[in-house]
Amino acid sequence: MTDTPITDAFLYDRSGYRYDIADPRWRGDDGTALAMSALPGITKDRIVTSDRSLWRYQAAIPVDARHRVSLGEGCTPMVPMDWSGRRVHFKLEWFNPTSSFKDRGVAVMVSHLVAQGADHVLEDSSGNGGSSVAAYSAAAGIRAKIIVPESTSAAKILQVRAYGAQIELVAGTREQVSQEAIRQSEQIRYASHNWHPFFLQGTKTVAYEMWEDLGFRAPDNVVLVAGAGSNVLGCDIAFSELLEAGQIAHRPRLFVGQPEHWATIADTVNGLDPAEREPRVPTIAEGAAIADPVRLPEAVDAIRRSGGAAVAVSEEMIRKAVRKLASRGLYAEPTSCVAAAALDHFIAEGAIGASETTVVVLTGAGTKSSEKMAGIFDDDRTSHQGQRA
């Protein structure tokens, strides 16, 4: 058994109503997303150093170790580089098994669902979440159905099918895909990376790794892309736990970027009305194209609590970030590159200092969005050819 005191933990909705941690529900009676009560965190002596996966932090994960479903997720590299005169650490989350940070949350979520006896799960996704749920369901020996937008990258759809999951393509927006999944969740256990509280218990481990890799110190700044905000919330949870456990001296500032037409979290942080950005045109950062994050108030509170900030970045800024990262050997998908575009913005405005320790989380590999990456670099080639002519 895990040594986390899970008997003391509980789930609660936005109204404050409590639910048993073993309750199979995925949202509260009030219709809001569930959160988990504060856990005690971890001290460095409780890290299982022989385990090269996120489960080295088992003491901070409220899942019975006997039901662990793992493909070796976590322990991703954190590579220091010079960036605009600053030493910036890039956390390469595409070293996870399905080439996306989603594996952290899905590993913990699926382990919890397996412990509850689930044998068939449902997920809706713009691609990476679906790939991950399909993979971990295969590892667990359970069935999975993945509902995705018709516009999802072919490489992500292929990956879902390769794992043996059933896939359903839905026309319309990301929100319409989610609505269809919620409708079908009446028949199939909903393993939603946006809704399920145990998903965040996995994403928080990226912050534990930053802490450990920096010599058990907190960075000054963490720069993230946000769609639904699960990395924002995961970092907030982990750094709160580490503060409570007396393991870090300060809470890192969370700096968040979003595509400009899908910047609900950033707009809310900045006191703007997200509805004024209509119409919501397609973005090359497909993984962050979420108009109505189900944990919007919590994500906004996390950014403000950290003393951080959020920004909406243009498509051209994202394309520039893709090219800038690639020129340094980092082939990140456009969604990931929103974080690098935000980094440039916050450096330019002086929010991130040259002497500070900054970590940028790159959430997924460029190979996950081959068509969009080809479009960016084909445009470059065409432009160069035109200049030579």
User: Is 91 part of a structural domain of the chain?
Assistant: yes
* pLDDT-derived band at 4, boundaries 50, 70, 90: very low
User: Is 201 part of a structural domain of the chain?
Assistant: yes
Of the candidates 190, 223, 249, which is a domain's last residue? 190
Distance CA 28, CA 118 (A): 20
What are the pLDDT digits (tens) for 239-261? 999 999 999 999 999 999 999 99
What are the pLDDT digits (tens) for 29-77? 999 999 999 999 899 999 999 999 999 999 999 998 889 999 999 999 9
Q: Is 211 helix (H, G, I), strand (E, B) or coil?
A: helix
What are the pLDDT digits (tens) for 143-185? 999 999 888 888 889 999 999 999 999 988 788 889 999 999 9
CATH number of the domain bearing residue 282 = 3.40.50.1100
Residues 173 and 307 in one domain: no
The DSSP element (H or E) to which 92 belongs, if any, is strand 86-92
Of the candidates 168, 190, 212, which is a domain's last residue? 190
Of the candidates 160, 190, 220, which is a domain's last residue? 190
Residues 85 and 227 in one domain: yes
| Neighbouring C-alpha atoms within 13 Å toward the C-beta of 334 | 27
Residues 182 and 236 in one domain: no
Q: Determine the structural domain holding residue 310 and report its residue range.
A: 78-100+196-376
Residues 181 and 216 in one domain: no
Residues 184 and 249 in one domain: no
Residues 351 and 202 in one domain: yes
Give bridge partners of residue 190 from the DSSP assignment.
Answer: 122
Tokens 């970590």 sit at which residue? 359
What are the pLDDT digits (tens) for 293-341? 999 999 999 999 999 999 999 999 999 999 999 999 999 999 999 999 9
Residues 258 and 370 in one domain: yes
**Is 0.85 topped by the overall pTM?**
yes
φ and ψ of 144, to 5 deg: -140, 140
Structural domains of the chain, count = 2
* pLDDT-derived band at 227, boundaries 50, 70, 90: very high
Q: Is 329 helix (H, G, I), strand (E, B) or coil?
A: coil
pLDDT of 172 reads 80
Burial 35-68 (b: 16+ CB within 10 A, else e): bbeebebbeeeebeeeeebbbbbbbbbbbeeebb
φ and ψ of 18, to 5 deg: -100, 150
What are the pLDDT digits (tens) for 24-41? 999 999 999 999 999 998
Residues 171 and 307 in one domain: no
